[in-house]
Structure 1
């Protein structure tokens, strides 16, 4: 038409007079293209999860710290969505839902991302809630039309967190210590237990008073732990940037008061800093270390578990503890070494670490040497350990880190 240009490859219309770009919807109506805003100068996010299995049944979790990258791998245009963009979800395998939980973990983001990519305008809260509920409903029809699926999911797009839950699962937001007003510590989405019911959803605009989010399943929620206690358990570890430790602590206490495995929990940390838009054009990847270092030096403490990869030439007795047992043991060690400094780390490393590095003399106990940012250049050190090391400040102790070798705690020394 006069005054308009069309870009065939991008399916975009340009109006000369206004200088605006437009797309067409399913009804062939034009709507304005939205360019995603970058909240990277204000907000970064990281999440992790923990599970407790039972008799071959394992609840599942999916942590996608960068949806822009995930969408690109599916050849989807995600540039109209704000960043950071992430998805965190837990899937309940209790009551014989093991196969359903595994299928849902593989399928929900595959349902959700194409729907999020299809509409390239500005997303209102109700549209986000609707597409999340629609994706869950379609997933249910495909994998469990009679029994339904039990899950909790949190979708972060810029400064908004859209939550959904089904099957008695729960998603909640929590604030800093001492912040317990209704806008911070009382916001939660509880999934209906009726298998025919639609997912409960809510979209929250995040503020810097929000510290994080917690997602877990019915077995934890009905164990006897009130919501305030669940928030407190997660908060104490999330504040120290250890979301996985927070999940392990929650699951351990839930089991003590009657929670029956399989159980799963995911925790998310919101990091607030700077001012929005202070770095235009630069998108901070949420799984990219925030420093520009190319090498760091670290020490670690290792507990092995049944089925983990043995070290070459290791003749020690094979471990019999489960992954959960190793995580719980590390959780109890964590306060001692996090608060005791390098000396406490050295002493505990020599006492219990199951890595050959623990036998090094003096302060070198557990030393991994200088690690390169590229995991491929550290052949003897698991990639998960290398990635975690680059997020640490000097003197900081890491979250629980799982690798093919076992469960690690890492101390950055330089």
Structure 2
């Protein structure tokens, strides 16, 4: 039936026309799927393939990373960044990154950076470091997005890092007139298994290499500096640059080489971002000379993931004064435990007398050994594993900032700081790790929970230190939290604690973990 302005039912065409009642799988089989359906199915399949590739890359190229900052300073002089997935940041910013060359197959992109206002020519200050930390990501991502097609190689990625430092210097000097201070910087960019580093000033960036194995023994880890300690005018080209621009070099205290500007200020800093009184016309101050550059030292390293190359360490200027061989020993002692490692290194630097008013910041990133089984496992099996319950035993030390600063075992209030709680547990963890190295588990079959009974050292430390009622349990139940479902882990202890627990195999000790209850170390026993 039709009428004046109506349309006939014969002229109406449904998207299901001609296929009524035919299943979608049958249409695919017959090749009769409409184009828009087919395009959607192809897009869905491509998206699934890309997700699988990302999961495979992430499963094999993992890092565990953390940072600790200690010191009694009025302002936050050191800023740091930890970006575990730079691609997600680019996507949120609507920035398209290269997809070929070094970036093909969506190679994981990770960034660790530190900007230190103590590595400056004008004296310590917080503003340049804060500005750099806020603006590094957009500047670096824009530089990477501008790499010409066909040139996605190490040379151009290094150039992107160098250009980012140049952009940061211009940002401080030209767009932020209120900023008078300066800062040093250390940046590590991981593109798949390629490491790109850039260091400017007295900050330090160190690559930790495994010691050479000699039969059953292994040499200590070796620390390789990525910045050559720029902070003492030790680079010949810096001295030449200085003299060519009207400056002069003279000896200072402890053998340091110094220079001075027309205002009569002296400095031993060779390179920094900002510091307008030392940047000539760029700094906008009449009569100033350009005596300091912001050019970073850039390097490129092919990583032997978690085999030859063990970890990365980024430190502020005061920490860089600690011998790197000491730091490498600490990193080896706290293998795959970045919170404990970075805290111990920063704490050691903070106890040096001349660092009494300094800010000691350390970032440690461990390369996690590859696990090809993770790639081979179907997604459903991996999800099932993640949903499994775990059984843990722990030691917890409370502090004044936790939700309940009260020790229920000794029935007393707690007044220690979180830093003090961490220091107590770092020592305990080190003792437990040393003890674990002397314990031989049953050979052959997978050890049962019975093989992980509380050791004498754990029993002693738990009774002495733990501020949880589980420390009062007897025998093999001391410190035992029982079986915990993933949801229960998250609700009781928080997502970070839950993630740390899932990463452990039975018998392994965790890194330091924080919850509302306090600071924990725990062992997975099943």
Assess same fold via TM > 0.5. Answer: yes
1:247, distance to aligned residue in structure 2 (A): 1.4
- Distance across 1 between alignment mates of 2:467 and 2:226: 41
Distance 1:148 1:354, change over 3 A: same
1:103 Cα deviation after fit: 3.9
Contact map agreement 1:51 1:60 (CA 8 A) in 2: no
For 1:267, the equivalent position in structure 2 comes to 364
Residues 215 and 265, structure 1, Cα contact 8 Å, conserved in 2: yes
Distance 1:290 1:63 in 2: 29
Aligned to 1:188: 226
SS at match of 2:129: helix
CA distance in 1, matches of 2:480, 2:96: 44
Structure 2 equivalent of residue 124 of structure 1: 153
What does residue 312 of structure 2 align with? 213
2:398 equivalent to 1:304 = yes
Q: Which of 483, 506, 515 is residue 370 of structure 1 equivalent to?
A: 483
**Match 2:191 to one of 147, 157, 162:** 157
Counterpart of 1:138 in structure 2 is 167
Which is strand-richer, 1 or 2?
1
What residue in structure 1 maps to residue 46 of structure 2? none
1:350 aligns with 2:388: no
Deviation at 1:258, TM superposition (A): 3.9
Q: Does the CA-based 8 Å contact 2:124-2:181 persist in structure 1?
A: no
1:69 corresponds, among 60, 63, 88, to 88
Task: Give 2:423's match in structure 1, choosing from 303, 324, 328.
Answer: 328
Distance 1:103 1:406 in 2: 33
Alpha carbons of 1:303 and 1:61: their partners in 2 closer, same or farther (altered >3 Å)? farther
Out of 489, 493, 497, the residue aligned to residue 385 of structure 1 is: 497
8 Å CA contact retained: 1:47, 1:88: no
Q: Which residue of 2 aligns with 1:86?
A: 110
Where do 1:226-305 residues align within 5 Å? 226-237=323-334, 240-258=335-353, 260=355, 261-273=358-370, 292-305=386-399
Indicate the SS of the match to 1:116. helix
2:68 corresponds to 1:50: yes
Over 3 Å counting, the alpha-carbon distance change for 1:36 and 1:372 in structure 2 is closer
Distance 2:508 2:435 in 1: 11
In the superposition, the TM-score normalised over structure 2's length comes to 0.61
- Please give the alpha-carbon distance, in whole angstroms, between the structure 1 residues aligned to 2:361 and 2:464: 30
Deviation, structure 1 residue 221 = 1.5
Query: Deviation at 1:335?
Result: 2.2
- Once residues 62 and 180 of structure 2 are traced to their aligned partners in structure 1, the CA distance between those partners, rounded to angstroms, is 39
Q: In structure 1, what is the Cα distance between the partners aligned to 2:144 and 2:487? A: 32
Q: Which residue among 85, 98, 101 is the counterpart of 2:129? A: 101
Give the whole-Å Cα distance in 2 for the aligned partners of 1:235 and 1:400: 16
Kept in 2: contact 1:44–1:270 (CA 8 A)? yes
Matches within 5 A, 1:161-172: 161-172=195-206
Decide which structure has greater helix share: 2
3-state DSSP of counterpart to 1:218:
coil
Counterpart CA distance in 1 for 2:507 and 2:377 is 32
1:204 is matched with: 301
| Alignment of 1:410 onto 2:434 | no
Distance 1:408 1:36, change over 3 A: closer
| C-alpha contact (below 8 Å) 1:41/1:276 kept by paired residues | no
Higher Rg: 2
CA-to-partner distance for each residue in 1:204-248, whole Å, 9 max, x for gaps?
Answer: 1112411111111211122xx3233332322332xx211222212
Whether 1:174 aligns to 2:202 is no
8 A contact 1:337–1:348 mirrored in 2: no
What does residue 23 of structure 1 align with?
none
Q: Which residue of 1 aligns with 2:432?
A: 337
Against the structure 1 CA distance between its residues 230 and 380, is the aligned structure 2 distance closer, same or farther, given a 3 Å change threshold? closer
For structure 2, the residue ranges without an aligned partner over 5 or more in a row are 1-52, 174-178, 232-268, 273-291, 437-453
Deviation readout 1:347-405 (Å, 9 max, x if unpaired): 32232112344344443333333333357x74222222111111111111111223444
Q: Does structure 2 retain, via aligned residues, the 8 Å contact 1:51–1:324? A: no
1:231-284 CA-partner distances (Å, limit 9, x unpaired): 2322332xx2112222122223223444513110111112343679976999xx
Structure 1 residue 172, shift from structure 2 partner: 1.4
Question: Are the structure 2 counterparts of residues 117 and 255 from structure 1 closer, same or farther at C-alpha, using a change threshold of 3 Å?
Answer: same
Change (3 A) 1:404 1:155: farther
Shift of residue 301, structure 1, vs aligned partner: 1.6
Compute the RMSD of aligned alpha carbons: 3.7
Greater CA drift, 247-256 or 363-372:
363-372
